[in-house]
Amino acid sequence: MKEKVVLAYSGGLDTTAIIPWLKETYDYDVICCCVDVGQESELEGLDERAKYSGAEKLYICDVVDELCDEYIMPTVQANAVYEHKYLLGTSFARPLIAKKLVEIARQEGAVAICHGATGKGNDQLRFELSIKALAPDIKVIATWRQPEWTMQSREDEIDFCKAHGIDLPFDASHSYSRDRNLWHISHEGLELESPSNAPNYDDLLVLTTTPQNAPDEGEDVEIDFEAGMPVAVNGKRMKTSDVIRELNRLGGKHGIGIIDIVENRVVGMKSRGVYETPGGTILMEAHQQLEEICLDRETLAYKKILAVKFADLVYEGKWFTPLREALTAFVDSTQQTVTGKAKMKLYKGNIIKQGTFSPYSLYSESLASFTTGDLYDHHDASGFITLFGLPMKVRAMMKQNVEKKEK
C-alpha cells in the first residue's frame, strides 16, 4: 500500500493541481479534506471534482457551530481586533481547519498533511503551528516552498492539470484572492495591490453593500446575551451560528462592516486588503456595549490590554498555546455577568446605540445623577482629590523650591 497524505482541499485551481503533483512527486495516495467553515456555494460539486482530479476520497467536515462557539465567540468576548480594524475572520478559522486535518490524518493513518498556502502569507504559519501543536510527528508539505514545485502562475497550473487529464473550467485570468467563511470574506489583489487605488466596490463586495446604496431608512436590532454568548436576535432565540447569519443579513443590507486596511503580516511585509464582516461588526459592538455597564472599571481596562495580545496570538497562528488558553480562561471569568440586551439602529454603514439593559448593570441612576443621594456626598470628593493629587502637588512644590535656589 502507498503512504497517504491529507490535503487541505478547497476545489480551486491550486488545490486541484496539487493532487496530481503529490501523486507524481511523492507517490502518495491523496486524501482530500475540505473543512466547512461556512463557504456555502463554494462546497458544491467538490466530491466529484476531487475524485476526477485523482484523489482517493474526500472528507467534508462541517465545523460551523464549533467555529462559532469555540473560536469566534472567545475572540469576540476578548474584544480582540488586530491593528484596530481586522476582526480576525481568516485567522481563527485556520487552527480549526488544521485540527480537522490532523483528525483525518490520524483516522487514515496518513504520514503527511499538505496545504497550498504561499510562502508570503500568514496562513502557512497558522496551519503549520497548529499542526506542530497537535501532531508533531506528522510531516507537513507546503507546496509553494517545495523545490519540486515549479509552477509559478495560473496558466502553469492549468497546463499541468490538462497534461494529467484534468480539464476543468478554470479561468486563467487573475481575479481577487478571496477567503470566505461564516464570519467574513476577505479580498486581496487587482487594484487593491496599490494602496493609492480606491477599491472597486461595485465588483468587489459579496456580503454587503456600500453605505451609499444602503436603504434610506434605518433598522433597529436587539441582541440578547447570556454570560457573554448571543442567544437571540429581535426576540427570536437561536444558536450562535444563526445569530451570525441573521446579523450578516441585516448588516449586509445596511452597509455595515466594510474595512480597507494595510496590515502588517507576520512574515514582515505590509498587505492591503478589504474585509466584509457585517454580522461580526454588529456582534462585537453589541457585546462591548453590554460590557460597558456590566464590568467594573479595572476589569474593563485590563481587558483592553489583554485584547491586543489576544489578537496578536490569533493573527500569528498561536491558538493552541498555553498563553491563549490562559487568556481565554481569564476572559471566561469576566463574562459571567455579561447578560442582557443591546439595542442598536443600523443606518448607512453606522451602528447607532439605542439603549442597553442588564440585570447585572453596575450603572446606578441615583449615583450618576446630579442629585445628592444616600451613597454619595459631594463633600467626600475633597479628601479624595487631595490624596489623589498629592504626588502632583509634591512634585510642583519641589520644582518651585529648585527654581528659588537657582535664582
The secondary structure of the chain in percent helix, strand, coil, rounded to multiples of 5, reads 45, 20, 30
- Contacting residues for 159 by C-beta, under 8 A, at least 6 apart: none
Mean pLDDT of 286-305: 98
**Structural domain spans, the chain:** 4-173, 178-295+338-357
108 neighbors 31 (Cβ within 8 angstroms): yes
Beta strand spans in 37-92 (E): 57-62
pLDDT of residue 373: 62
pLDDT of residue 365: 77
Mean pLDDT of 52-65: 97
pLDDT of residue 369: 66
Residue 230, C-alpha cell as written in the block: 448571543
The active-site residue, picked from 36, 49, 91, 123, is 123
pLDDT tens string 211-263: 999 999 999 999 999 999 999 999 999 999 999 999 999 999 999 999 999 99
Mean pLDDT of 375-380: 81
Mean pLDDT of 29-37: 97
Going from the C-alpha of 168 to that of each of 20, 48, 162, the distances in angstroms are 14, 11, 8
pLDDT of residue 379: 84
Mean pLDDT of 309-327: 98
**Catalytic residue status for 177:** yes
As a residue count, the chain comes to 407
Report the mean per-residue pLDDT for the chain.
95
pLDDT tens string 128-185: 999 999 999 999 999 999 999 999 988 999 999 999 999 988 887 778 999 999 999 9
The active-site residue, picked from 47, 154, 177, 271, is 177
The active-site residue, picked from 49, 53, 94, 186, is 94
pLDDT of residue 44: 85
Mean pLDDT of 343-365: 96
Give buried/exposed letters for 202-233 (b at 16+ CB in 10 A, else e).
eebbebbbeeeebeeebeebbbbbeebbbbbb
Q: CA 247 to CA 286: how far, in whole Å?
A: 11
* Kind and range of the H or E run holding 8: strand 4-8
pLDDT tens string 319-332: 999 999 999 999 99
In the three-class reduction of DSSP (H, G, I as helix; E, B as strand; rest coil), residue 140 is classed as strand
The active-site residue, picked from 14, 36, 179, 224, is 14
**Catalytic residue status for 94:** yes
Per CATH, is 178-295+338-357 categorized as 3.90.1260.10?
yes
pLDDT of residue 14: 94
Residue 60: pLDDT above 90?
yes
Per CATH, is 4-173 categorized as 3.40.50.620?
yes
Q: Whole-model pTM?
A: 0.93
pLDDT of residue 371: 64
- Contacting residues for 77 by C-beta, under 8 A, at least 6 apart: 228, 287, 331, 332, 334, 335, 338
Residue 1: pLDDT above 90?
no
The DSSP bridge partners found for residue 341 are 224, 357
Pick the more confident residue, 397 or 175. Answer: 397
Residue 188: pLDDT above 90?
yes
The DSSP bridge partners found for residue 309 are none
Residue 346: pLDDT above 70?
yes
